[in-house]
């Protein structure tokens, strides 16, 4: 499967930091945790799913797909779809998300 330029750099940086190779879901969880300033172990399964959703929405905010429209009682962001997501094959969806992850980590300075 084809991967976007910069993907291996992301994978190597994360592997160096966490001492293992992370899958796409783990990276989305990590982004969600970063955005929510959660740095603890033992997160409940339902919170992990919410954090992965936050991570994905964060990646897609940049291009105007999602927007934060408020916060729930616990301070978690509520996202609203602002424009339709592209109709892509599964392989193209993965490539698209990987590209957004690369942009995210470039923006926060993890990779150049």
Q: What is the pLDDT of residues 72-81, one digit of tens each?
A: 999 999 999 9
In the chain, domain spans: 7-107
Q: What is the pLDDT of residues 47-87, one digit of tens each?
A: 999 999 999 999 999 999 999 999 999 999 999 999 999 99
The average pLDDT across 20-40 equals 96
Q: Model confidence at 16, in pLDDT bands (50, 70, 90)?
A: very high
- C-alpha distances out from residue 98 to 18, 42, 67, 71, 108, Å: 19, 26, 20, 27, 16
- pTM value? 0.94
pLDDT score, position 50: 96
User: What percent helix, strand, coil does the chain show, rounded to 5?
Assistant: 55, 10, 35
């Amino acid at each position: 499967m084809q991967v976007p330029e910069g993907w291996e750099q992301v994978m190597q940086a994360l592997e160096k930091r966490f001492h293992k190779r992370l899958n796409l879901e783990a990276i989305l969880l990590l982004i969600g945790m970063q955005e929510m300033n959660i740095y603890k172990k033992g997160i409940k399964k339902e919170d992990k799913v919410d954090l992965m959703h936050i991570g994905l929405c964060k990646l897609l905010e940049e291009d105007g797909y999602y927007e934060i429209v408020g916060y729930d009682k616990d301070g978690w962001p509520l996202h609203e779809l602002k424009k339709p997501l592209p109709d892509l094959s599964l392989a193209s969806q993965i490539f698209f998300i990987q590209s957004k992850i690369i942009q995210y980590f470039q923006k926060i300075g993890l990779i150049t």
